[in-house]
Copies of this chain bind each other. A is one copy, B any other.
Amino acid sequence: MSTHEAHDAVDVIRTKRDGGRLSDAQVDWVVDAYTRGVVADEQMSALAMAILLNGMDRAEISRWTAAMIASGERMDFSSLSRPTADKHSTGGVGDKITLPLAPLVAACGVAVPQLSGRGLGHTGGTLDKLEAIPGWRAALSNDEMMRQLEDVGAVICQAGSGLAPADRKLYALRDVTGTVEAIPLIASSIMSKKIAEGTGALVLDVKVGSGAFMKDAERAGELARTMVALGTDAGVHTVALLTDMSTPLGLTAGNALEVRESVEVLAGGGPQDVVDLTLALAREMLAGAGRGDVDPADALRDGRAMDAWRRMIAAQGGDPDAPLPVARETEHVLAPADGVLLELDALAVGVAAWRLGAGRARKEDPVQAGAGVELHAKPGTVVRAGEPLMTLHTDTPERFARAREALADAVAIAPEGSRPADRPLVIDRVAAG
């Protein structure tokens, strides 16, 4: 470490270790020096653990987020003729909402610059899903992105490596050092990219439940409030919805399976929970962008959202009419008893879909477009012993056994007349204030 550095990593670590507040200068320096390699990985991981255990206050997290943004480029959509709004989900099982949502909001006159990622672990990635569509490509130049936003109004593409590079480096470190779960670091990681992306309004879908990163509503609420504060401090109109992830969204988890279901929603059908959540998030995005007067249900009903979807897919080389990939093999999971399906665990279904080939364990792994889990019942449905509850899809049938293991305790069936716990889809709404 150079002795010419104005600050000292150990001093910064000690400040947070001893429960103190990092000064603006300390935050600016440590984030920048870590990006430059002056602060070593073993120093940043010790600091991350101290942050996890001792926390950061709102001003510290805002400054940390700003420092991560300053480590890279910022996008600017101010030249667009329309306002912009974006959505971020903390990740869930069967969460394909971005697919119908982006064209729906675009059809209502608000541009959606959706920079997305790939899946890791039991939650799928939006880009993996769209790549199931023949010809579709995730990588766009900034110029291509800008043109598509002006022409089509919606773009879902891969985040460039120029946005918040400090976050990429820090995230990889947190992943191997047990420091992922720090709310200040989760919030600044998400928000640094969204703020750098330059959206005018942002809606956060913070998932709660077994299939979500946050298992309990209290911590999910804290994450939501922290992110709304960060967006607000950065001048982005930000709202968060806390939504249920105790059971999968819709009836599919898997790439091509979820595209198919998204198209059903755009065609005016699809599972009610997917439709409801898509509309709830669309209303928040429109309101945040100053178009609260527009009802997105109209655009879903009259086909404008579907038109926007087709143009969005085609603009990125995809053929919206091409048949979607289908897995080579399927097997059913049968209901073990007569009764009412009380529970269908989101995490178990997510892990099963992952093991069938829909997700990846490591960044460099490929995914199977056709793999996943198709549900034939959701909590509240009456089922009969021996009838299919789910269909498992994969190209590699040796995966069925481990997928079934994941599902071993996924299902609870109660005598007819029972009712599942009443879980509202939207649990809470967090706005600035």
Measuring CB to CB, which residues of chain A are less than 8 angstroms from any residue of chain B? 1, 9-10, 13-14, 17, 40-50, 52-54, 173, 176-179
**Contacts A42-B41, A43-B176 given: A49-B17 contact, CB under 8 Å?**
yes
Q: Are A46 and B45 in contact (CB under 8 A)?
A: yes
Choose among B1, B47, B176, B178 the residue that contacts A17 (Cβ–Cβ < 8 A). B178
Q: Are A46 and B178 in contact (CB under 8 A)?
A: yes
Chain B residues whose C-beta falls within 8 Å of the C-beta of A177 in the assembled complex: 10, 13, 42-43, 45-46
Chain B residues whose C-beta falls within 8 Å of the C-beta of A44 in the assembled complex: 42
Question: CB-nearest residue of chain B relative to A52?
Answer: B17
Q: Are A50 and B53 in contact (CB under 8 A)?
A: yes
Task: Report how far A54 CA is from B54 CA in the complex, Å.
Answer: 11
Chain B residues whose C-beta falls within 8 Å of the C-beta of A54 in the assembled complex: 53
Question: CB-nearest residue of chain B relative to A173?
Answer: B42
| 22 interchain pairs, CB-CB under 8 A | A9-B178, A10-B176, A10-B178, A13-B177, A13-B179, A14-B178, A17-B49, A17-B178, A42-B45, A42-B176, A45-B45, A45-B46, A45-B177, A46-B49, A46-B178, A46-B179, A47-B178, A49-B50, A49-B53, A50-B53, A53-B53, A53-B54
Q: Which of A17, A44, A47, A178 has the most CB of B within 10 A?
A: A178
Task: Report how far A14 CA is from B43 CA in the complex, Å.
Answer: 18
Label chain A's interface by main secondary structure.
Answer: helix
Looking at the assembled complex, report how far the CB atom of A190 sits from the nearest CB atom of chain B, in whole angstroms: 21
- Number of copies of this kind of chain in the complex: 2
Task: Report how far A179 CA is from B40 CA in the complex, Å.
Answer: 14
Task: Report how far A257 CA is from B169 CA in the complex, Å.
Answer: 51
8 nearest interchain CB pairs?
Answer: A13-B178, A49-B49, A46-B177, A41-B42, A42-B45, A45-B46, A46-B49, A42-B42
Task: Report how far A52 CA is from B43 CA in the complex, Å.
Answer: 14
Task: Report how far A52 CA is from B13 CA in the complex, Å.
Answer: 12
Question: CB-nearest residue of chain B relative to A182?
Answer: B17
Chain B residues whose C-beta falls within 8 Å of the C-beta of A42 in the assembled complex: 40-42, 44-45, 173, 176-177
Q: Are A53 and B10 in contact (CB under 8 A)?
A: no
Inter-chain pairs besides A10-B178, A42-B42, A49-B50, 8 sampled, C-beta below 8 Å: A9-B178, A10-B176, A13-B177, A17-B52, A17-B179, A41-B41, A45-B49, A50-B178
Task: Report how far A179 CA is from B49 CA in the complex, Å.
Answer: 11
Q: Which of A1, A46, A48 has the most CB of B within 10 A?
A: A46
Chain B residues whose C-beta falls within 8 Å of the C-beta of A45 in the assembled complex: 42-43, 45-46, 49, 177
Looking at the assembled complex, report how far the CB atom of A249 sits from the nearest CB atom of chain B, in whole angstroms: 28
Task: Report how far A177 CA is from B17 CA in the complex, Å.
Answer: 10
Chain B residues whose C-beta falls within 8 Å of the C-beta of A53 in the assembled complex: 17, 49-50, 53-54
Question: CB-nearest residue of chain B relative to A51?
Answer: B49
Task: Report how far A52 CA is from B19 CA in the complex, Å.
Answer: 12
Q: Are B49 and A176 in contact (CB under 8 A)?
A: no
Q: Are B40 and A176 in contact (CB under 8 A)?
A: yes
Task: Report how far A173 CA is from B41 CA in the complex, Å.
Answer: 11
Looking at the assembled complex, report how far the CB atom of A14 sits from the nearest CB atom of chain B, in whole angstroms: 5
